[in-house]
Structure 1
Amino acid sequence: MSSLDLSPAHFRRLADRVSTLAEEWLEELDTRRIAPDITGAASEAMFSEGLPEQGLGDASLDALKPLMAGTRAGNARFLAYVFGSGEPVGVLGDYVASVVNQNVTAWRSAPTVVSLERSVVRSLANAVGCPGFTGSFTGGGSSANMMGLAMAREALAPANEDGSPSGVMYASAEVHMSIPKAVALLGLGRKNLRLIPTDAQWRMRPDALVKAIEEDRAAGRRPIAVIATAGTVNTGAVDPLRDVARIVREHGLWMHVDGAYGALAAMAHPEKFEGLGEADSLSMDAHKWLYQPADCGVLLFRDAKAARRAFSFTGDYARSLTADAVEGFAFFDESMELSRRARALKVWLSVRFHGLAAFRESIRRDVANAKRLEGLVRETPALELLAPATLSAVCFRYRAGLEDAQLDDFNTKLLAHINRRGRVYISNATLEGRFSLRACFVNHRTTPEDVTTVPREVLAAAEELKAL
């Protein structure tokens, strides 16, 4: 027996200890300070000894409790990032995925888990209004966005005659930072990403998009793709997808939708996402608005041939030896990944347990909670709303007794003070040069009572800050 192996009974003892820690974490989650009382120096000191030469055995698990105590608690009032709340049944699915430890790269390497993933992808595509789309699970929206844009480039502008990449892509000025990264990594260069102005609701302006495309064509440049956003990270704005789709078709371009934040909300609010099904490719994050443990992104696409054109490059060692459509299937022919974790397993188990209807209702509650906070901000004279809650992000600031020149500095300090108090945890955005406090609701635990805590905490923290 290898020294790395454990007997099933020994594994069970260790798993029971971890399960007890998990139970305590979930039981105490709502009463924990969200921001841990730990400094950077203290966190570094916890791990300063590095990895041991000789194993600690069962005692190695002793370090888990202080590690968990030193991290942020994603409870009902954690409203900072667009990051899911870790639905518990999904956690169990992740556990099973680690135990079976399949490389979900081809049917022959993980038969049932590959079929499971393909089924879950089809179901999610149907649920968000993209019937007939296929795709795969990814590490997150960043990798899904990069793969979608790689498909666009290979479909419309694979390379110049000398082998150098060419082409221009378009996105709104509110685009997520993963898009400039993807354009750079694809070799197009960030100068070939044109940022299109937005309207008063922070959405891409169709007229400005048409103008940019026509200007580039007149200058001899080659438009490739338009990246529409379904849920901008700052305000949750959804670009006019149907208008963008019409422009893309008229100009023979590729339409990619960055829906990492918002697209899964189409399950509950399809009226906010009209035109989503006209995309050529679409990114979504199940570890955001499907509340799953990270990592759990999704790339959907209309045409699997376009995915294979971009990613199929199979060495003889990986060549399929069957012509059967199922048994010969390989995700690595449609993805940049070769080794792939069983990410879909937690989604499958979670949705089997709760049902899609429960997730739709939870998304509706999040959207309603955002509107509730928007209303409270409007009703509070000391606060100023900076952007409407079009999806589930609310941007506002404190301004009572402050001159305009003081607002950014005070609210920057106020954000840190709010989060240090540990009762709520929010983040920030910059809108038209103005520093904004930002609460984003993608948390299945949040209740209306939690929402009312946010303005109370902001006002209390502001009074403390003024008294310093």
Structure 2
Amino acid sequence: MNPLELSPADFRRLADRLSTLAEQWLTELDARAIAPATTGAASEALFAEGLPEEGLKDAALDALGPVIAGTRAGNARFLGYVLGSGEPVGALGDYLAGVLNQNVTAWRSAPTLVSMERAVVRGLAAAVGCPGFTGSLTGGGSSANLMGLTMAREAKAPANEEGSPTGVVYASTEVHMSIPKALALLGLGRRNLRLISTDEEWRMRPELLERAITEDLSAGRRPLAVVATAGSVNTGAVDPLKDVAAIARRHGLWMHVDGAYGALAALAVPERFEGLALADSLSMDAHKWLYQPVDCGVLLFRDAAAARRAFSFSGDYVRSMSTDAVESFAFFEESLELSRRARALKPWLSVRYHGLRAFREAIRKDLENARRLAELVRAEPRLELLAPVPLSAVCFRYVAGLPEAERNAFNTKLLARLNARGRVYLSNATLSGNFVLRACFVNHRTTPEDVQMVVAEVLAAAAELTHAGTVSL
């Protein structure tokens, strides 16, 4: 008897239990405290017994209750980080992907699922205004950014040239942390990341980019690539993509767009992303603004040959014997990964169920909710808006009666108190040395009433701190 085999009846019984737990989670989601009432010690204690030698059978699922109870609830008022809200039809697609357990690495390994992923990638590229781009689904924006910059290096300064890899990469001071990490991993080194100052709206200044490239050329350095940001993680700023692209092309540089946060908003507001299609490569995250369960990143690129130059180092044991254009296709020739899960089942099923129009509308509602919160902050004299709101990130702070020197410390404590209350969850950012509260709307569940609660909860948390003697007003 196979000790790991389940009968269809046993599988259905376990699946029914899990479905009941999932249904209960979704039913209670809006009423749950966002921050779970747990501690590091308590969460570690749940798993202190280690892995059992003998199987627990159905009782193995009994421990899921405490696990779920200690999980953050991504309900309508979870506005921290840039994390999508986990659309449930996508979750069902993820479930099926696990059961099918296909390695979506080459057509011969997973025929229909490889074709599905290629179709999803083409569809998303067209939907954001980049028709003709191809690519693949990735673990997230960080891996997509790494692959995009790997393509840039191999296109402009191949690693097989004599000597160590060289080249300067340019990005704004608002660049995501994955970009310096990618340069370190590529052997270019973080010292070769040239940060360009931003304007009053936190966008890269093209004239300073031009100057930096010219200075590096004069000094004998090798400009390699420009990373433009389409939705910075702090403020949602979108660099002037068209201007940046013109400079990159004039100097023969690769242009990669980090659109992990913002680029999918081009579904709803394409006018804010003029020049996106001028990129050589582009990262997006469907687990952000397509609301899919993690993980579901996207790398798009203009030239598949450039991807193959960067990633096609295949052994004979994976060589395809087919000459058919479809049947010989392999994602591992165009990406970092060899083993790849069926990520496309989530967005494919989700978009087929709801339609692209529903996602466009959900994104527009997120943008409206961000503008609504910004207006409420402007109307509240105890609060101060710290940045424009080009997309859905809103940065503000509490200022009533606080000397400038005390505002950072107070708002740091305010954020902790606010999130501990459990009704609203925000994150933070630092802008020009100012610690700010940051709400980011990439949540299909959020309503205007939830937006009203953000301000009410911030003021309530501030009142608690004031009455507790944290600050004298």
**CA deviation map 1:247-299 (0-9, x unaligned):** 01111110000000000000100011000000000000000000000000000
CA distance in 2, matches of 1:280, 1:237: 20
Q: Write out aligned runs for 1:85-234 (5 A).
A: 85-159=85-159, 161-234=161-234
Distance 2:49 2:405 in 1: 47
SS of 2:224 mapped into structure 1: strand
Distance 2:242 2:315 in 1: 41
Q: In structure 2, how many angstroms separate the alpha carbons of the residues matched to 1:388 and 1:89?
A: 34
Q: Does 1:337 align with 2:319?
A: no
Aligned residue for 1:257? 257
Where does structure 1 differ by over 4 angstroms across 4 or more consecutive aligned residues? none
Query: How far apart in 1 are the matches of 2:275 and 2:257?
Result: 10
List per-residue Cα deviations over 1:353-404 (Å, max 9, x = no partner): 0000000000000000000000000000000000111100000000111111
Q: Where in structure 2 are the equivalents of 1:63-462 lying within 5 Å?
A: 63-159=63-159, 161-462=161-462
RMSD: 0.7
Measured after TM superposition, the shift of residue 162 of structure 1 is 2.9
Matches of 1:221 and 1:358 in 2, distance apart? 48
Q: Quick check: 1:39 aligned with 2:39?
A: yes
**1:49 match:** 49
Q: Alpha-carbon deviations, 1:412-444, whole Å to 9, x = none?
A: 000000000000000000000000000000000
Output one character per residue of 1:295-348: Cα deviation in whole Å (capped at 9) or x when no partner: 000000000000000000110100000110000000000001000000011100
1-side partners of 2:162 and 2:102: how far apart?
41
- CA distances 1:82-119 after superposition (whole Å, capped 9, x unpaired): 00100000000000100100000000000000000000
Report the AA paired with residue 250 of structure 1. Answer: R
How many percent of aligned residue pairs carry the same amino acid? 77
Deviation of 1:349 after TM superposition, in Å, equals: 0.1
1:216 maps to a residue whose letter is: D
**Paired AA for residue 275 in structure 2:** G
Amino acid at match of 1:362: A
Q: Secondary structure at the match of 1:181?
A: helix
Whole-angstrom CA distance in 2 between matches of 1:69 and 1:84:
20
Q: Does the 8 A contact of 1:311 with 1:333 survive in 2?
A: yes
Matching residue's letter, 1:109: S
Cα separation, partners in 2 of 1:315 and 1:160, compared to 1, 3 Å: closer
Specify the SS of the correspondent of 1:255: strand
Q: Distance in 1 between matches of 2:445 and 2:35?
A: 17
Residue type of the alignment partner of 2:206: P
2:471 equivalent in structure 1? none
Whole-angstrom CA distance in 2 between matches of 1:62 and 1:168:
54
Where 1:203 maps in the other structure, the secondary structure is: coil
Equivalents in 2 of 1:179, 1:221: separation in Å? 20
The question of whether the paired residues in 2 share the 8 Å contact of 1:160 and 1:166 is answered with no
Task: Tell me how many residue pairs correspond in the alignment.
Answer: 468
Q: CA deviation at 1:81?
A: 1.0
Deviations 1:9-59 (A, max 9, x none): 100000000000000000000000000011111111111111111111100
Unaligned runs of 5+ in 1: none
Aligned residue identity for 1:437: L
For 2:420 and 2:365, the matched residues in 1 are separated by 27
Structure 2: distance between partners of 1:215 and 1:8: 68
In structure 2, C-alpha distance between the alignment counterparts of 1:303 and 1:53, rounded to whole Å: 51
